[in-house]
Amino acid sequence: MNLREKKLLIAVGTLVGVLAAGFGIRTLISKPLNEIDKKIATARNKLDKIRADRRSYFAAEDRMKAYALRAFADTVDQASGLSGEMLTRQILRSGLQESDFTRTPVGPRKLRGASEIGWSVQGDGPLVDVLDLLFLLQESPHVSRLEGLSLHAGDGPGFVRVRFRYLTLVFEPAPDVQRKELVAKSTLESPLRHLYNGIVSRDLLRPYIKRPPAPPAVVQGQAPSTGAASVRPGTPPGPESFKIVSLSEWMGQPEVHVRDLTQQKTQRYRPGDTLAGGIVMCVDYRPLHTSNFLRSDSRVILKIGSEFWAIERGKTLADKRKLSPAELPEQLAKVK
Protein backbone atom coordinates (compact mmCIF):
# COMPACT_ATOMS: atom_id res chain seq x y z
CA MET A 1 0.00 0.00 0.00
CA ASN A 2 1.55 3.31 -1.07
CA LEU A 3 1.28 6.65 0.71
CA ARG A 4 -1.60 7.88 -1.41
CA GLU A 5 -3.72 4.85 -0.60
CA LYS A 6 -2.94 5.21 3.08
CA LYS A 7 -4.10 8.83 3.03
CA LEU A 8 -7.28 7.88 1.21
CA LEU A 9 -8.01 5.09 3.70
CA ILE A 10 -7.41 7.42 6.65
CA ALA A 11 -9.75 10.02 5.12
CA VAL A 12 -12.51 7.48 4.52
CA GLY A 13 -12.14 6.02 8.03
CA THR A 14 -12.25 9.49 9.56
CA LEU A 15 -15.42 10.33 7.58
CA VAL A 16 -17.12 7.11 8.64
CA GLY A 17 -16.12 7.72 12.26
CA VAL A 18 -17.49 11.28 12.19
CA LEU A 19 -20.79 10.08 10.67
CA ALA A 20 -21.09 7.27 13.22
CA ALA A 21 -20.31 9.65 16.05
CA GLY A 22 -22.87 12.12 14.69
CA PHE A 23 -25.59 9.46 14.53
CA GLY A 24 -24.72 8.29 18.03
CA ILE A 25 -24.85 11.79 19.46
CA ARG A 26 -28.15 12.44 17.65
CA THR A 27 -29.66 9.26 19.09
CA LEU A 28 -28.51 10.15 22.59
CA ILE A 29 -30.03 13.61 22.31
CA SER A 30 -33.23 12.83 20.35
CA LYS A 31 -34.37 9.80 22.38
CA PRO A 32 -34.98 11.74 25.63
CA LEU A 33 -36.59 14.52 23.59
CA ASN A 34 -38.97 12.02 21.95
CA GLU A 35 -39.88 10.58 25.34
CA ILE A 36 -40.56 14.09 26.65
CA ASP A 37 -42.77 14.81 23.60
CA LYS A 38 -44.75 11.59 24.25
CA LYS A 39 -45.23 12.52 27.90
CA ILE A 40 -46.40 15.99 26.92
CA ALA A 41 -48.90 14.52 24.41
CA THR A 42 -50.17 12.06 27.04
CA ALA A 43 -50.54 14.86 29.60
CA ARG A 44 -52.45 16.97 27.06
CA ASN A 45 -54.82 14.07 26.32
CA LYS A 46 -55.43 13.58 30.04
CA LEU A 47 -56.08 17.31 30.50
CA ASP A 48 -58.52 17.29 27.56
CA LYS A 49 -60.30 14.28 29.05
CA ILE A 50 -60.46 15.95 32.46
CA ARG A 51 -61.90 19.12 30.89
CA ALA A 52 -64.46 17.05 28.96
CA ASP A 53 -65.42 15.11 32.10
CA ARG A 54 -65.72 18.37 34.01
CA ARG A 55 -68.01 19.84 31.35
CA SER A 56 -70.07 16.62 31.32
CA TYR A 57 -70.30 16.65 35.12
CA PHE A 58 -71.61 20.22 35.26
CA ALA A 59 -74.01 19.55 32.38
CA ALA A 60 -75.28 16.39 34.14
CA GLU A 61 -75.59 18.34 37.40
CA ASP A 62 -77.71 20.97 35.65
CA ARG A 63 -79.92 18.25 34.15
CA MET A 64 -80.32 16.56 37.53
CA LYS A 65 -81.28 19.86 39.15
CA ALA A 66 -83.83 20.43 36.38
CA TYR A 67 -85.32 16.97 37.03
CA ALA A 68 -85.21 17.50 40.79
CA LEU A 69 -87.24 20.70 40.38
CA ARG A 70 -89.96 18.56 38.76
CA ALA A 71 -89.90 15.87 41.46
CA PHE A 72 -92.64 15.79 44.10
CA ALA A 73 -90.27 15.70 47.10
CA ASP A 74 -86.88 14.50 48.36
CA THR A 75 -88.19 11.57 50.43
CA VAL A 76 -90.33 8.56 49.54
CA ASP A 77 -93.02 9.31 52.14
CA GLN A 78 -93.43 12.94 51.13
CA ALA A 79 -93.46 12.12 47.42
CA SER A 80 -96.05 9.37 47.95
CA GLY A 81 -98.34 11.69 49.88
CA LEU A 82 -98.03 14.61 47.45
CA SER A 83 -98.52 12.42 44.37
CA GLY A 84 -101.62 10.85 45.98
CA GLU A 85 -103.07 14.30 46.65
CA MET A 86 -102.36 15.31 43.05
CA LEU A 87 -104.15 12.19 41.77
CA THR A 88 -107.23 13.03 43.85
CA ARG A 89 -107.28 16.61 42.55
CA GLN A 90 -107.01 15.47 38.93
CA ILE A 91 -109.79 12.89 39.39
CA LEU A 92 -112.12 15.59 40.73
CA ARG A 93 -110.95 18.10 38.12
CA SER A 94 -111.86 15.62 35.37
CA GLY A 95 -115.45 15.44 36.62
CA LEU A 96 -115.12 11.92 38.02
CA GLN A 97 -116.26 10.66 41.41
CA GLU A 98 -113.46 9.98 43.88
CA SER A 99 -115.45 7.11 45.41
CA ASP A 100 -115.45 5.32 42.02
CA PHE A 101 -111.66 5.02 42.02
CA THR A 102 -109.30 2.96 44.15
CA ARG A 103 -105.62 3.85 44.59
CA THR A 104 -103.07 1.35 45.88
CA PRO A 105 -99.48 2.42 46.65
CA VAL A 106 -96.77 0.92 44.41
CA GLY A 107 -93.10 0.57 45.40
CA PRO A 108 -90.66 1.82 46.32
CA ARG A 109 -88.49 0.04 43.74
CA LYS A 110 -84.77 0.72 44.00
CA LEU A 111 -83.10 2.02 40.85
CA ARG A 112 -79.64 3.39 40.21
CA GLY A 113 -79.67 6.83 41.81
CA ALA A 114 -83.40 6.90 42.54
CA SER A 115 -86.42 5.08 43.97
CA GLU A 116 -89.52 4.48 41.86
CA ILE A 117 -92.86 4.90 43.62
CA GLY A 118 -96.41 5.44 42.46
CA TRP A 119 -100.03 4.40 42.61
CA SER A 120 -102.07 1.66 40.99
CA VAL A 121 -105.36 3.28 39.99
CA GLN A 122 -108.56 1.67 38.81
CA GLY A 123 -112.11 2.89 38.46
CA ASP A 124 -114.90 3.66 36.04
CA GLY A 125 -116.70 6.69 34.66
CA PRO A 126 -117.79 8.46 31.47
CA LEU A 127 -115.33 8.02 28.61
CA VAL A 128 -114.87 11.76 28.09
CA ASP A 129 -114.00 12.28 31.77
CA VAL A 130 -111.60 9.33 31.83
CA LEU A 131 -109.83 10.77 28.77
CA ASP A 132 -109.57 14.09 30.59
CA LEU A 133 -107.95 12.34 33.58
CA LEU A 134 -105.44 10.46 31.42
CA PHE A 135 -104.59 13.64 29.49
CA LEU A 136 -103.99 15.64 32.70
CA LEU A 137 -101.72 12.93 34.11
CA GLN A 138 -99.85 12.48 30.82
CA GLU A 139 -99.22 16.24 30.56
CA SER A 140 -98.28 16.58 34.23
CA PRO A 141 -95.19 18.80 34.72
CA HIS A 142 -93.84 16.41 37.36
CA VAL A 143 -91.35 13.63 36.60
CA SER A 144 -93.84 10.83 35.97
CA ARG A 145 -95.19 8.32 33.51
CA LEU A 146 -98.29 6.18 32.96
CA GLU A 147 -97.80 2.43 32.70
CA GLY A 148 -100.04 -0.58 32.17
CA LEU A 149 -102.97 1.43 30.80
CA SER A 150 -106.06 -0.72 30.27
CA LEU A 151 -109.46 0.47 29.05
CA HIS A 152 -112.59 -1.68 28.87
CA ALA A 153 -116.21 -1.01 28.09
CA GLY A 154 -118.24 -0.15 31.18
CA ASP A 155 -121.65 -1.28 32.29
CA GLY A 156 -123.49 1.45 30.41
CA PRO A 157 -123.26 3.36 27.13
CA GLY A 158 -120.42 5.87 27.19
CA PHE A 159 -118.88 4.42 30.37
CA VAL A 160 -115.48 2.73 30.57
CA ARG A 161 -113.37 0.95 33.14
CA VAL A 162 -109.79 2.15 33.38
CA ARG A 163 -106.72 0.75 35.09
CA PHE A 164 -103.18 2.15 35.08
CA ARG A 165 -100.10 2.82 37.20
CA TYR A 166 -98.90 6.36 37.83
CA LEU A 167 -95.16 6.25 38.60
CA THR A 168 -92.68 8.91 39.68
CA LEU A 169 -89.07 9.11 40.94
CA VAL A 170 -87.40 10.15 44.17
CA PHE A 171 -83.73 10.97 43.51
CA GLU A 172 -81.13 9.59 45.93
CA PRO A 173 -79.23 11.65 46.86
CA ALA A 174 -81.47 14.55 45.93
CA PRO A 175 -79.80 17.71 44.58
CA ASP A 176 -80.26 20.83 46.68
CA VAL A 177 -82.88 22.86 44.81
CA GLN A 178 -85.58 25.39 45.65
CA ARG A 179 -88.86 24.00 44.31
CA LYS A 180 -91.68 26.17 43.01
CA GLU A 181 -95.24 25.40 42.05
CA LEU A 182 -95.28 23.71 38.64
CA VAL A 183 -97.75 24.65 35.92
CA ALA A 184 -98.70 22.22 33.15
CA LYS A 185 -98.10 23.40 29.58
CA SER A 186 -101.39 21.90 28.36
CA THR A 187 -104.86 22.14 29.87
CA LEU A 188 -108.23 20.57 29.06
CA GLU A 189 -108.92 23.55 26.78
CA SER A 190 -105.68 23.10 24.79
CA PRO A 191 -105.86 22.08 21.10
CA LEU A 192 -103.82 18.99 21.99
CA ARG A 193 -106.68 17.69 24.16
CA HIS A 194 -109.21 18.18 21.34
CA LEU A 195 -107.27 15.70 19.19
CA TYR A 196 -108.70 12.90 21.36
CA ASN A 197 -112.33 13.91 20.87
CA GLY A 198 -112.67 11.43 18.03
CA ILE A 199 -112.45 8.58 20.54
CA VAL A 200 -115.57 9.91 22.24
CA SER A 201 -117.54 10.95 19.16
CA ARG A 202 -116.98 7.58 17.46
CA ASP A 203 -117.51 5.63 20.69
CA LEU A 204 -114.58 3.37 19.80
CA LEU A 205 -114.76 1.35 23.02
CA ARG A 206 -118.39 0.30 22.72
CA PRO A 207 -118.49 -3.52 22.55
CA TYR A 208 -120.21 -5.32 19.69
CA ILE A 209 -123.71 -6.39 20.66
CA LYS A 210 -125.25 -9.08 18.54
CA ARG A 211 -128.74 -8.38 17.25
CA PRO A 212 -131.26 -10.45 19.26
CA PRO A 213 -133.04 -13.19 17.31
CA ALA A 214 -136.51 -12.52 16.04
CA PRO A 215 -139.31 -13.79 18.31
CA PRO A 216 -140.84 -17.10 17.20
CA ALA A 217 -143.98 -16.89 15.19
CA VAL A 218 -147.14 -17.65 17.16
CA VAL A 219 -149.58 -20.00 15.47
CA GLN A 220 -153.13 -18.73 15.63
CA GLY A 221 -155.04 -20.46 18.35
CA GLN A 222 -151.88 -21.74 20.13
CA ALA A 223 -150.64 -20.20 23.37
CA PRO A 224 -146.99 -19.05 23.33
CA SER A 225 -144.69 -21.46 25.15
CA THR A 226 -142.78 -20.33 28.23
CA GLY A 227 -139.27 -21.64 28.82
CA ALA A 228 -138.48 -23.34 32.08
CA ALA A 229 -135.69 -20.85 32.70
CA SER A 230 -137.91 -17.79 32.41
CA VAL A 231 -137.91 -15.55 35.46
CA ARG A 232 -141.05 -14.00 36.87
CA PRO A 233 -140.96 -10.17 36.96
CA GLY A 234 -140.22 -8.82 40.43
CA THR A 235 -138.15 -11.86 41.48
CA PRO A 236 -135.30 -10.66 43.76
CA PRO A 237 -131.81 -11.24 42.33
CA GLY A 238 -129.88 -14.25 43.61
CA PRO A 239 -126.21 -14.50 44.60
CA GLU A 240 -125.23 -15.13 40.97
CA SER A 241 -126.22 -11.50 40.25
CA PHE A 242 -123.47 -10.08 42.49
CA LYS A 243 -119.91 -10.19 41.16
CA ILE A 244 -116.58 -9.46 42.89
CA VAL A 245 -115.05 -6.89 40.52
CA SER A 246 -112.16 -5.52 42.60
CA LEU A 247 -110.03 -6.44 45.62
CA SER A 248 -107.86 -3.44 46.35
CA GLU A 249 -106.44 -1.36 49.17
CA TRP A 250 -106.91 2.28 50.07
CA MET A 251 -104.82 3.90 52.81
CA GLY A 252 -103.77 0.44 53.99
CA GLN A 253 -107.40 -0.74 54.32
CA PRO A 254 -108.54 -3.63 52.07
CA GLU A 255 -111.71 -3.06 50.07
CA VAL A 256 -114.08 -5.45 48.31
CA HIS A 257 -116.07 -4.03 45.39
CA VAL A 258 -119.21 -6.00 44.53
CA ARG A 259 -121.13 -5.22 41.34
CA ASP A 260 -124.91 -5.69 41.24
CA LEU A 261 -125.35 -6.96 37.68
CA THR A 262 -129.09 -6.26 37.69
CA GLN A 263 -129.02 -2.72 39.06
CA GLN A 264 -125.58 -1.90 37.56
CA LYS A 265 -124.34 -0.50 40.88
CA THR A 266 -121.16 -1.16 42.83
CA GLN A 267 -121.06 -1.55 46.61
CA ARG A 268 -117.87 -1.34 48.69
CA TYR A 269 -117.21 -3.66 51.67
CA ARG A 270 -114.45 -3.70 54.27
CA PRO A 271 -113.37 -6.20 56.97
CA GLY A 272 -116.14 -6.54 59.54
CA ASP A 273 -118.97 -5.91 57.05
CA THR A 274 -121.61 -8.54 56.29
CA LEU A 275 -121.45 -10.13 52.83
CA ALA A 276 -123.04 -13.30 51.37
CA GLY A 277 -124.35 -14.42 54.74
CA GLY A 278 -120.97 -14.09 56.46
CA ILE A 279 -118.52 -11.56 57.83
CA VAL A 280 -115.68 -10.18 55.71
CA MET A 281 -112.48 -11.25 57.49
CA CYS A 282 -109.75 -10.14 55.08
CA VAL A 283 -108.57 -9.91 51.47
CA ASP A 284 -106.00 -12.58 50.64
CA TYR A 285 -103.46 -11.79 47.90
CA ARG A 286 -101.56 -15.11 48.03
CA PRO A 287 -101.46 -17.01 44.71
CA LEU A 288 -103.28 -20.33 45.15
CA HIS A 289 -104.44 -23.18 42.97
CA THR A 290 -108.09 -24.05 43.48
CA SER A 291 -109.52 -27.53 43.45
CA ASN A 292 -110.29 -27.31 39.71
CA PHE A 293 -106.58 -26.62 39.02
CA LEU A 294 -107.14 -22.93 38.24
CA ARG A 295 -104.78 -20.27 39.56
CA SER A 296 -106.28 -17.68 41.88
CA ASP A 297 -104.33 -14.49 42.65
CA SER A 298 -106.70 -12.86 45.15
CA ARG A 299 -109.88 -13.59 47.07
CA VAL A 300 -112.10 -12.27 49.83
CA ILE A 301 -112.39 -14.57 52.86
CA LEU A 302 -115.69 -14.76 54.75
CA LYS A 303 -116.51 -16.38 58.07
CA ILE A 304 -119.87 -18.12 58.03
CA GLY A 305 -120.51 -19.70 61.39
CA SER A 306 -117.30 -21.46 62.38
CA GLU A 307 -116.17 -22.07 58.78
CA PHE A 308 -114.18 -19.94 56.38
CA TRP A 309 -115.26 -19.45 52.78
CA ALA A 310 -113.55 -17.72 49.84
CA ILE A 311 -114.80 -15.92 46.75
CA GLU A 312 -112.23 -15.31 44.02
CA ARG A 313 -111.98 -12.00 42.19
CA GLY A 314 -114.14 -12.10 39.06
CA LYS A 315 -116.53 -14.69 40.55
CA THR A 316 -120.06 -14.20 41.85
CA LEU A 317 -121.32 -14.73 45.39
CA ALA A 318 -122.78 -18.04 44.22
CA ASP A 319 -119.22 -19.31 43.53
CA LYS A 320 -118.03 -19.18 47.12
CA ARG A 321 -116.06 -22.23 48.22
CA LYS A 322 -115.14 -23.64 51.60
CA LEU A 323 -111.48 -23.32 52.57
CA SER A 324 -109.46 -26.13 54.05
CA PRO A 325 -107.18 -25.37 57.05
CA ALA A 326 -104.15 -25.58 54.75
CA GLU A 327 -105.56 -22.81 52.53
CA LEU A 328 -106.10 -20.32 55.36
CA PRO A 329 -103.67 -17.41 55.73
CA GLU A 330 -101.55 -17.36 58.85
CA GLN A 331 -103.60 -14.71 60.68
CA LEU A 332 -106.82 -16.75 60.25
CA ALA A 333 -105.33 -20.17 60.94
CA LYS A 334 -105.17 -19.22 64.64
CA VAL A 335 -108.79 -18.04 64.74
CA LYS A 336 -111.20 -20.67 65.98
Q: Is residue 165 part of a domain?
A: yes
Query: What is the per-residue pLDDT across 10-50, written as a single tens digit (0 to 9) for each?
Result: 787 888 887 777 777 777 777 777 788 888 888 888 898 88
Note whether residue 224 is domain-resident.
no
214 lies in a domain?
A: no
Same domain, 84 and 53: no
Q: Are residues 109 and 155 in the same domain?
A: yes
pLDDT of 284: 85
CATH number at residue 141: 3.30.70.60
Verify that 58 and 143 share a domain, yes or no: no
The verdict on residue 69 lying in a domain is: no
Enumerate residue ranges in the chain where pLDDT < 50: 226-234
pLDDT, tens digit (0-9, with 9 covering 90-100), for 146-180:
999 988 877 777 788 899 999 999 988 878 888 88
User: In angstroms, what is the C-alpha Rg of the chain?
Assistant: 39
Choose among 222, 328, 320, 237: nearest CA to 282: 328
What pLDDT score does 163 carry? 92
DSSP-based three-state secondary structure for 209: coil
Structural domain harbouring 293: 239-333
Q: Cis before residue 157, ω within 30 degrees of 0?
A: no
Residue where one domain finishes, among candidates 33, 63, 93:
63
HSE (CB half, 13 Å, CA atoms) of 319?
Answer: 16
Which pLDDT score, from 0 to 100, does residue 12 have? 78
Q: Are residues 104 and 197 in the same domain?
A: yes
Residues 6+ apart with CB under 8 A from 270: 253, 254, 255, 256, 280
Percent of the chain, pLDDT > 70?
86
If one counts the domains in the chain, the total is: 3
**Which of 30, 63, 96 is a domain's end point?**
63
Q: Is residue 168 part of a domain?
A: yes
What is the predicted pLDDT for the residue at 236? 60
**pLDDT at res. 158:** 76
Q: Is residue 13 part of a domain?
A: no
**Same structural domain, 119 and 36:** no
Q: Are residues 168 and 252 in the same domain?
A: no
- 40 and 81 share one domain: no
In a domain, 226, yes or no: no
In a domain, 213, yes or no: no
What letter does residue 51 receive in the DSSP assignment?
A: H
